[in-house]
Structure 1
Amino acid sequence: MNFIQKINRGLLVAILPLAFTACKKDQKDSSTAPTQQSTIIVENVLKSQPLVESGTFQGSGSPALILPGQATSIQFSAAKGEAISFATMYGWSNDLFFAPASPGIQVYDNSGNPIEGDVSAQIKLWDNGTRINQKPSANVSHPGTADVKNITEVNGTDAQGNSYLPASKLVKATLKYKGNSVFTLTLENTSGGTANETPLSPGVWSVSYIVGGTLQSPNPLYTAGQPTANGLTNIAEAGDNTPLAAYIESITGIFTPLSPVLVVVYNGIDNPIYKTGELDRNQGLTPLAQKGNADTLAAYLKGKPGIKAVYVLSAPNTKVLLPVIGSQPGGVVSQQLTIGQGDRIAIATMYGFSNDWFFATTGNGVDATQKGDISGSIQLYDDGTAINQFPGAGITQFNLAGTPLKESQPITAVPNPNTFTTLPGISNIIKVTLK
């Protein structure tokens, strides 16, 4: 099962909120000093993943089962439209498992309000299709007789006529909102004393990115009506979550577009875009860092002393620079520059799935006359103007249909690892070349 979906790039960007305006502004220096031509190339080289978060859960005993009367909790972040999925074995069966219907349990209502309370009704019981079902009980013989069928929901009775209570009577799921896009999902084994009493096995959970309203992994753990895959059988038959956990970890990571890129050529002044340790100058960096719109800052800088040229570079057709998605290459933009001795270059582009993070050249930019890969001069910064949330899973992130919550902090480098996650190296996200 391949969860990295083939995406029509044109359609994707047509619905992306991150459809920033593009402009191109060029004010040439009137100096008669010798000039030369150079080309700047900016690429999104991030190998994107479809899952924003994933993990495992288990009981507290040894073995780590969740016995009747016991519970376990999962903490996760999510943006509007994202959902949490999980899978755990109906322990006293041959190959049954509990999971919500894909894509998972929704955690916000249509208005973007967090959902709290009992969401047990969304849990279903599923037959993995790899074993003939015996009557569920502690006496089930494992592994049992092999079968080759697709995953199907068990709704009252299984294929062999064995009876089951609704899954919501056996597992209780409760959502609690902790604030700032963080939730806790508690799973309680409520099967004790019922005709379907059973332990629950260690399990796995996941949250898919949503891009332009489309989940990147709408069937993260299984697909109803299709054969089991990626290690789910180990959970359904033996309660072993190790193989499926390894698989979902391999497709969990970073997904972000880069906004149209601001490029500034200047001479005799400090970096005109920002300075670490200072508050945002209120000249247009905030719209770039929060919304990916560089036009305001570009317009402000044009014509200022020391500014020789200002450009905002948008990717053809898509405007934003999409990451590498499956076999599709990432977005790339380029611009020919007229430069002279003493000229410097600074760039800035938004980390699209953040609250106010932006990539920019460090310090006082780079020597405009140098050639080659200058990605080592790029750093990721926090503009300090919006409260941060898990990148790609924040309800107030502008490009995930949110409204940033204001704060006023100095501009600082984003640490890695940070409070939320560990990012790839900068050069594995953005590549900048001078030719």
Structure 2
Amino acid sequence: MKFKLPFGLLSVVGVLALSSCSSNDDADQPVNDTAVITVENIIESKALTQFGTFQNAGSSPVLAPGESASFTFYAGKGQAISFAAMYGNSNDLFFAPSNPGIKLYQDNGDPVTGDVSSQIRLWDNGTRVNEPVGPSVTHPGATELVTKIVTEITLATPASQLLKAELTHEGGTKFTLKLTNTSGGTVNETPISQGIWAVSHISGTTLLKQDPIFSPGKLSANGLTDLAETGKITPLSQYLTGITGPNSAFSPVLVVVYSGNENPIFKSGESDRGQGLKELAQLGNPDILVAFLKTKSGVKEVYVLKDPATTVLKPRVDGANGGKASQAISARKGDRIAFVSMYAQSNDWFIASADNGVDGSTRGDISSIIGLFDNGTLKSSFPGAHIGSQPAEAENKPIEQLANPNEFNTLPSLPQMIKVTIQ
């Protein structure tokens, strides 16, 4: 699985600072303490940004003719929404759009809105012998003697006339999809089961999971059979839970050694100082902040740590180690060490040592002191759903540490995403 960078981050990696930039302050003082700081991305990358379920809001989760269900999700340009729900009056048929799902943005970047029913299809799960569809169909029906692959199927009434899909753009990267059972009065009138939906991560212009729920031409898998035969979504939900989560890189990491009682990079509760943190938090570019820190009184050393192979620190993929960068630093007892890096799947979030960093004599794993912060200069969006979307709306808010869960989702704890050690 290849991992590509968000456009903003990609645009700056070629001009990043050298891996070590030393301030001239205290250049003639003897160095009596050296150490190596190592930063590792330990995120176990996942294929999906989100998944969820939908059902009738009434006493029964089933959508009878005329009834609707809606769900809200986040997606950036290039991402798609996929879903599946059982055709109730069948043995193992289900509704779903063709993979990778319903297109959400036009080629010019404008969000798609309105009726998108034409993208809905009807599929045969291939596990039960198909009886003529209708209210008298036997459940679960006879098992196919030779299990068939998942294939598209057509009825007298097109699937798009049995299930209506309407997209609403709620602003930013937020959408709502409303599904209405419109089969009433047709020759293929049917109840429609509760269902499940999913959105894949995107790397550059490539979706990481082109078939998040089902795979035409292959045997049914991952709990899809339960949904197609009985309308039960628990097994498929359990599978999707396992492949949903963060998939973020971290930008090159700026490390600063300084003296004093105040972190020279930022302070929670204050607005961005206009000294280069904004460029790092939005684009992953540390250059401006490096240049400023080299002129700041009390700053002794400034370093930029980059993965030697990829510059940025990528997440773990398919069991392989994630990005890693190490740097020998000069820091003595009484000095302070602070660091900062962009959380790439965001508009302006960054991870950093909280408060006043750590003492220069600190050794060992210091991941527990890390916080995830919002720079407050761009409006936040769902992490992983901003990539390739229209430029984020500017805002002017104080820097603040993000709660977890945040307003969009729940991320792993910081020590499960990034590891920082000093040896």
TM-score strictly above 0.5: yes
Equivalence map 1:130-145=2 (5 Å): 130-145=127-142
1:222 has 2:214 as partner: yes
2:356 aligned partner: 364
2:284 aligned partner: 292
Q: How far is the alpha carbon of 1:304 from its aligned partner?
A: 2.2
Equivalent of residue 349 in structure 1, options 331, 337, 341: 341
2:110 aligned partner: 113
Q: Is the 8 A contact 1:17 1:212 kept in 2?
A: no
Q: Is the 8 A contact 1:124 1:153 kept in 2?
A: yes
Q: How far is the alpha carbon of 1:268 from its aligned partner?
A: 3.1
Return the alpha-carbon distance in structure 1 between the equivalents of residues 265 and 31 of structure 2: 26
Helix, strand or coil for the counterpart of 2:193? Answer: coil
Q: Is the 8 A contact 2:8 2:283 kept in 1?
A: no
Return the alpha-carbon distance in structure 2 between the equivalents of residues 129 and 60 of structure 1: 30
1:239 aligned partner: 231
User: Partner amino acid for 2:284?
Assistant: G
1:426 has 2:414 as partner: yes
Structure 1, unpaired ranges of 5+: 1-5, 156-162
Helix, strand or coil for the counterpart of 1:136? Answer: coil
Q: How far is the alpha carbon of 1:16 from its aligned partner?
A: 6.0
For residues 159-179 of structure 1, give each alpha carbon's deviation from its aligned partner in whole angstroms, at most 9, with x where no partner exists.
xxxx43211011100001111
Helix, strand or coil for the counterpart of 1:309? Answer: strand
User: Partner amino acid for 2:9?
Assistant: L
Q: Is the 8 A contact 1:16 1:213 kept in 2?
A: no
2:150 aligned partner: 151
Q: Is the 8 A contact 1:269 1:306 kept in 2?
A: no
Equivalence map 1:142-181=2 (5 Å): 142-147=139-144, 148-155=147-154, 163-181=155-173
1:210 aligned partner: 202
User: Partner amino acid for 2:310?
Assistant: T
2:394 aligned partner: 406
The number of equivalent residue pairs is: 415
Q: Could you tell which deviates more after superposition, 371-380 or 22-31?
A: 22-31
Helix, strand or coil for the counterpart of 2:373? Answer: strand
Q: Could you tell which deviates more after superposition, 283-292 or 18-27?
A: 18-27
For residues 308-327 of structure 1, give each alpha carbon's deviation from its aligned partner in whole angstroms, at most 9, with x where no partner exists.
11111211221111111221
Q: How far is the alpha carbon of 1:33 from its aligned partner?
A: 4.4
Q: Could you tell which deviates more after superposition, 306-315 or 27-36?
A: 27-36
Classify 1:241/1:41 alpha carbon distance in 2 versus 1 (closer, same or farther; 3 Å): same
1:102 has 2:99 as partner: yes
Equivalent of residue 242 in structure 2, options 235, 250, 259: 250
Equivalent of residue 17 in structure 2, options 10, 15, 23: 23
Classify 1:179/1:34 alpha carbon distance in 2 versus 1 (closer, same or farther; 3 Å): closer
Classify 1:210/1:34 alpha carbon distance in 2 versus 1 (closer, same or farther; 3 Å): closer
Q: How far is the alpha carbon of 1:211 from its aligned partner?
A: 1.3
Give the TM-score of the pair, scaled to structure 2: 0.95
Helix, strand or coil for the counterpart of 1:35? Answer: coil
Helix, strand or coil for the counterpart of 2:385? Answer: coil
Return the alpha-carbon distance in structure 1 between the equivalents of residues 278 and 44 of structure 2: 27
Return the alpha-carbon distance in structure 1 between the equivalents of residues 355 and 235 of structure 2: 45
Structure 2, unpaired ranges of 5+: none
User: Partner amino acid for 1:415?
Assistant: A
Equivalence map 1:325-404=2 (5 Å): 325-394=317-386, 399-400=387-388, 402-404=390-392
Q: How far is the alpha carbon of 1:346 from its aligned partner?
A: 0.8
Helix, strand or coil for the counterpart of 1:203? Answer: strand
Q: How far is the alpha carbon of 1:401 from its aligned partner?
A: 5.2
1:66 aligned partner: 63
Q: Is the 8 A contact 1:17 1:400 kept in 2?
A: no
Give the TM-score of the pair, scaled to structure 1: 0.92
